[in-house]
Structure 1
C-alpha cells in the first residue's frame, strides 16, 4: 500500500472529484474546499478540527466537512489512517435535490461532522467498489444520487441559504474581495479600507468568523484556483504565477500542506 493521495473524477454529474488516501505522518494545515468533503475512514483514526471543534473519527465512520469550512487533519492512531472521499459542490446538491424540493437552492449545512450509520457507509463504499469494474455512467449516477438523497434526508441538516441569510457584514465583504482578487497582492490596508475596520479588528473578526486569518484564506483561494487551472492542463509553473504565488516552489509547499500531494502529481492523476 502506497502512502499518499490518489485523486480522480467520477464520470457523472460533470465530474465529482474523489480521493483514495493513505497517510501516516501527514498533517493537513487549516484549509478549505469549494465543495463538501465527504469520506469514510477505512482504517486507523483521524483527528481533525471543523466547525470550531476538535473531533476524532475511527474506522467505518462517515466524516463530513461543509463546503468552504475551515478544517485540518492528522493521524489519531500509531499506524496512520486511510480514507476514501469525494468533494461534491453545493451546486451539485442544488441540482440533485431539485426534483425532491422543487426549489433551486438546496445545498445543505451538515451539523454532524461524524456519522455512524452502516447503511450510509456501505452505500458510499459501493460507489468506490463499483468503479473497479468500469461501470456504466448510469450506474454511477444512480449510486451517487441514492447516497446523496439518503445522506441529506436522514441527517440533521439545514439549508446554507437559510443560515447565511445574505450576510453582508464587514468581514464577509473582506472575504468576498479576497476570493475575487486572490491572484493579486492584496494588502491589509486595502481590506481595512473597504471594510471600514481597523487592521487589528479586521484580523480579529475575520479569524473569529471563519477560523483563519485573511492571509490564510488568500492562500486557500489561490490553491482552489490552481486546482482548476491544473485540471485544465496548464503548466504548474505558469499556474503558480497566474494564481499569485511567488513561484512554483511556493505553490508546491502550500498545495501539499492542504491536499497531501504536489500540484504536478495532482494534475497527472486527474488528467490520465
Structure 2
C-alpha cells in the first residue's frame, strides 16, 4: 500500500514479497522494518543477512543493499523511513546513529518502531508521530552505543504545554501547537515533558482524554458520543486506547463499575 506521509518526516508502509528480488540499491533515508512473516534475506556491508518474523532490520542512509525471500513462501514486513535531517534535529551536533550489521535486538528501539507501525491502516496522528520520531531517534542513539546528553529543564515551558493540552482535550493537538505555546524547541520540550511528567506529550493527552471519557461513561453517557466528545476519531479508536490503558473495553469497564457500585450499596444497606 502507499506510504502514509506526515509532517514529522516519517513514511510508513507494508510489503509482501514472493519471487521478486531487489538488485543492489541505496536509500537516502533511514529504513526500519519489522519482518512479519517468512525469511527476509539481504546483503549489507559485505555480508549476507537474514531476518525472521519479529526481527528488526535497520538500514542506514546511503548504504548499499539488496533483498530477496529466503524460502519459496516469500516474506512480509512492515517498515518506516525517516529523513536523516529529522534525526539530526533531535540529536543536534551529533553523528547520525549507525547500527552495525543492519539489524538490532535493542528492546527500546524495537518497541519504538512497533508502536509507530501499529494501526498501519489509519492515518498517523501528528502528535503521536512526533512522539514516535523522538522515541526512535533516542532509541537509535542508544542502540548505537551512545547516551543522550542531559540539559537544564524548562519547567515553565513544559507547564504551558501541559495546560494547553488540558484546555484542548476535545481538539486536535499537534507538536506545532505545543511548540508555539511553550515557546520552546519541540524536541527539547519532548525531553523536558518526559522528565517532568514521566510520559510523552501524546501519551499524556491520550490519558487525559481517557480520564474525561471514564467520567462521562460513569455518568451514563453514550460510549460512541463520549468518544467524539473526548477527542477520539470514533468509538473503535477510543476502545483501542481504553483497553490498552485499563485492560477492559469501555463497555466492560462500565459494567464492572456499575456492578461494583451495586455490591457496595448492598453492603451498606446490610
What TM-score do the two structures reach when normalised by structure 2? 0.50
Report 1 or 2 for greater relative contact order, CA contacts < 8 Å, sequence distance ≥ 6. Answer: 1
TM-score (norm 1): 0.49
